[in-house]
Amino acid sequence: MKRAFTLLAVLMFGIIFARMVGDYSERQSVSALAEHYLSVVPQELGAPNVVTGILITFRGFDTLGEVAVLFMVAASVGILLASQPEARQQKELTEPEPRRPSELVQNGAEVILPLIFLFGAYVIMNGHLSAGGGFQGGAVVASAVMLLVLAKPSSQLHHGFLSITESLAGVLYVSIGILGLIFAAGFLDSHILPKGDFGTLFSAGAIPLISTLLGIKVGAELSVIIDRFRN
Amino acid sequence: MGLPVSHILLATGFLLVLIGMWGMLKHRNILRIIIGFSLIDTGLHIVMVATGYVTGHTAPIIDKALGIGDATSRAVDPIPAALVVTAIVIGFSVTAVMLAFAIRVYDAKKSLSIDALTESKW
C-alpha cells in the first residue's frame, strides 16, 4: 500500500517534469543582464572568466555570506559532534582496533596527495583565467585532506593552525572589501589594484587576491568539517 | 541534429530528482534518506545549469577561441553557473548538518531507522 503511494507520488512528479522538459525550448540568445556581464567583466574588470568575475565582484557580498554559512556549519557540526570526554574514553576502551586502510589507499595517497594539493592551488590561482576559482579550488584541497584522513587515520589535523589561517583569510577578505569602499566604487570592488595585461596571472585587479583568500578560507573550513566527522 | 543539449541535461537532472525522491520516500534508513536528498540536490543543480545553455554557444571564458568582441553573441548565460555555486554550498552545508544529526540520533537510539523516532512524529 505504502509502496503504491510512493510510486504514485514519484510518477506524478515524473509526469510534471516530463511536461516541463517537453515544453522547454532552448534559448537562442542570452538575457540582457547576461549580455551586460559578458561585456563588462572582460572589458572593465579584465577577467577572462566571466563566472569568476560575477562571483568575486558583482556577487562578492553574497560570496562572503556563503563563506559565513560554511563557517557556521563548521561551528554547528562541532557543537553537535562534541562528545563528552568520559564517553570517548569508554568508547576507546570498548571498541576494537579500527580497520587499517588498504595497501592501495595508503600507497595511492602518497603518490596522489601532493598532486591534488598542487591542482587545488592551480585552480585557485587561475580562477580568473580559466575554469575554476576560490570555491572550486578550496573544495579540491579539502578532498585531498579527506584522502589524507582515509589513508592515515592516525594523522592529526592542527585545529589551531586551521582556525587561525581561516580567520586571517576572512579578516583580509573583509579588509580588501573595505579598501574597495575607500579607494574604488564600493565594497569588494576589484579596481583597487591595477588591471594589468589581459589574460596574465597578475591581472584583473584584486580578483586573484580575493580568489586566493577565498580558496584558503574554504579549504580550511571544509577540512575542519571533515575532521569533525572523524571523531 | 538530434536532441538539443539542454533537453538532455534537463531530462538527466529531473531523472536524478525522481530517483532521489523515490529513495527518500521508500527507505527508512536515515543515511539513505540523506543520500536521496543529495541526489535531488545534484539533479536540481544540473537543471539550473541547463537553463543557462544557449544553442550553439560556448563557455563564458575569453580565450583564443572566444574574443572579447563576440562574447555577447557566442557565450552561454553565466548567471545560472554563478548561482549554482551558491546552491552547491548550501546543499553541502545542509548535508553536513544532517549527517551530524544522524550521528547524534544513532548515539541516542542506537539505530538509524526513522521508525526509532516516533516521539517526534506530529
Residue B40, pLDDT score: 93
% of chain A exceeding 90 in pLDDT: 3
pLDDT for the residue numbered A147 = 87
Q: Residue B15 contacts by C-beta under 8 Å, 6 or more apart in sequence?
A: B43
Q: Helix, strand, or coil here: A27?
A: strand
Contacts of B79-82 spanning 24+ positions with Cβ under 8 A: B79/A31, B79/A33, B79/A34, B79/A37, B79/A54, B79/B52, B80/B48, B80/B49, B80/B51, B80/B52, B81/A51, B81/B49, B81/B52, B82/A51, B82/A54, B82/A55, B82/A59
- CA dihedral sign, ordered B98, B103, B107, B110: positive
Q: What is the pLDDT of residues A47-82, one digit of tens each?
A: 788 888 888 888 888 888 888 898 888 888 888 887
Cell numbers for A73:
556549519
Candidates A215, A53, A216, A210; CA nearest to A129 is A53
Q: Which residue of B has its CA nearest to A38?
A: B72
Cell 556563503, residue located: A66
In B, which residues are within 8 Å of A24 by CB distance?
6-7, 10
All domains in chain B, ordered by first residue: 5-55+75-120 (1.10.287.3510)
pLDDT beyond 70 at A93: no
pLDDT in tens, A105-144: 888 888 888 999 999 888 888 877 777 778 888 889 889 8
Cα distance from A187 to chain B (closest Cα, Å)?
A: 19
* Cβ proximity of B46 and B87 under 8 Å: no
Distance of CA A30 to the CA centre of its chain: 27
b/e map of B79-88 (b: 16 or more CB within 10 Å)? bbbbbbbbeb
Minimum CA–CA partner of A131 in chain B = B61
**Which residues in chain B are contacts of A69 at CB distance < 8 A?**
89-90, 93
Q: Name B29's bridge partners.
A: B113
User: Is residue A50 a contact partner of residue B60, using CB atoms and an 8 Å limit?
Assistant: yes
Contact B79 A31 (CB under 8 A): yes
The residue of chain B with its CA nearest to that of A127 is B61
Q: Show residues of chain B in contact with A6, CB under 8 Å.
A: 22, 25-26
pLDDT of residue B46: 92
- Residue B72 CA to residue B78 CA, distance in Å, equals 11
CB atoms within 10 A of CB B42: 16
Instruction: Assess contact for A127 and A50: CB atoms under 8 A.
Output: no
Q: Between B25, B54, B68, which is nearest A42 by CB? A: B68
CB A80 to CB B101 under 8 A? Answer: yes
Does the interface ipTM go beyond 0.90? no
Residues of chain B numbered 45-104 and touching chain A (CB < 8 Å) = 51, 53-55, 57, 59-63, 68, 71-72, 75-79, 81-82, 85-86, 89-90, 92-93, 96-97, 99-101, 103-104
**A207 to chain B nearest CA, in Å?**
15
| Cα A128 to the center of its chain, rounded Å | 15
Residues B60-98 have pLDDT tens digits of: 777 777 777 776 777 788 888 888 988 988 998 999 999
Least confident range from A23-27, A39-43, A118-122, A158-162: namely A39-43
* Extents of the domains making up chain A: 49-94+101-228
Q: Above 60 in pLDDT, residue A85?
A: no
CA distance A215 to A141: 9
Determine the Cα–Cα distance for residues B7 and B103; give it in Å rounded to an integer.
39
Using the Cα atoms of residue A39, residue A34, residue A172 and residue A214 in order, give the sign of their dihedral. Answer: negative
